[in-house]
């Protein structure tokens, strides 16, 4: 893909990543949300998970399509994932808990879905902080090892959403299946690489 077309693709993806936030904000500000705090918090959380899975999908899509330029989108999607999870976390501690540390700590300890969600958020922080080219050069091989945390983070994210939903599990099951396919593809690729030649 030519550099100008790649730049246009990056701009398009950037705008698309902002649309869920713009839509959720409009729904809340226009008074369409019955429970605005719950709506904005859950919407941000859902899009965090969607973007995380899209980030993980880049490698399989690149290998299956042969379009290596797709790798250029992975960092942007990863940073948008952190952007959304940070807003998700802030909406919880600010709008829901009013920055009450005792209430937040009580929630983290006593409510399993909050516990795993908080763990996923904490694990995402070092990935966001080391996403620059300078950090990649500085950490060298350790950068790759560190960023493999994205796999348990994705598992925790799906589990967080699964435990949050109380009745209809359709969406959590879909996310779990997508994650299983993405991780299964990586295991399959690893197995192929380890197979001896004919």
DSSP string, the chain: --HHHHHHHHHHHHHHHHHHHHHHHHHHHTT--SSHHHHHHHHHHHHHHHHHHHHHHHHHHHHHH--GGGGGGHHHHHHHHHHHHHHHHHIIIIIITTT-HHHHHHHHHH-HHHHHHHHHHHHHHHHHHT-SHHHHHHHTHHHHHHHTTHHHHHHHHHHHHHHH--S--HHHHHHHHHHHHHHHHHHHHHHHHHSPP-
The per-residue pLDDT for range 22-55, each reduced to its tens digit, is 999 999 999 998 999 999 999 999 999 999 999 9
Distance, CA of 70 to CA of 89 (rounded, Å): 29
The per-residue pLDDT for range 111-147, each reduced to its tens digit, is 999 999 999 999 999 999 999 999 999 999 999 999 9
pTM of the model: 0.93
Mean pLDDT over 96-122 rounds to 92
């Amino acid at each position: 893909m030519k550099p100008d077309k790649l730049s246009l693709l990056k701009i398009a993806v950037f705008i698309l990543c902002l649309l869920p936030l713009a839509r959720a904000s409009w729904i809340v500000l226009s008074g369409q949300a019955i429970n605005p705090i719950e709506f904005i918090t859950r919407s941000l959380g859902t899009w965090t998970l969607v973007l995380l899975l899209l980030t993980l999908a880049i490698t399989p899509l690149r290998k299956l399509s042969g379009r290596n330029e797709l790798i250029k989108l992975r960092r942007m999607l990863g940073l948008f994932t952190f952007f959304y999870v940070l807003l998700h976390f802030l909406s919880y501690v600010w709008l829901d808990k009013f920055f009450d540390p005792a209430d937040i700590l009580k929630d983290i300890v006593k409510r399993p879905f909050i516990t795993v969600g908080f763990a996923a958020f904490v694990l995402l922080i070092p990935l966001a902080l080391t996403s620059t080219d300078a950090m990649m050069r500085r950490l060298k091989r350790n950068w790759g090892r560190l960023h493999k945390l994205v796999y348990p983070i994705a598992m925790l994210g799906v589990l967080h959403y699964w435990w949050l939903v109380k009745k209809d599990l359709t969406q959590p099951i879909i996310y779990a299946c997508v994650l299983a396919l993405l991780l299964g593809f990586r295991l399959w690729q690893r197995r192929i690489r380890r197979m001896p030649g004919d």
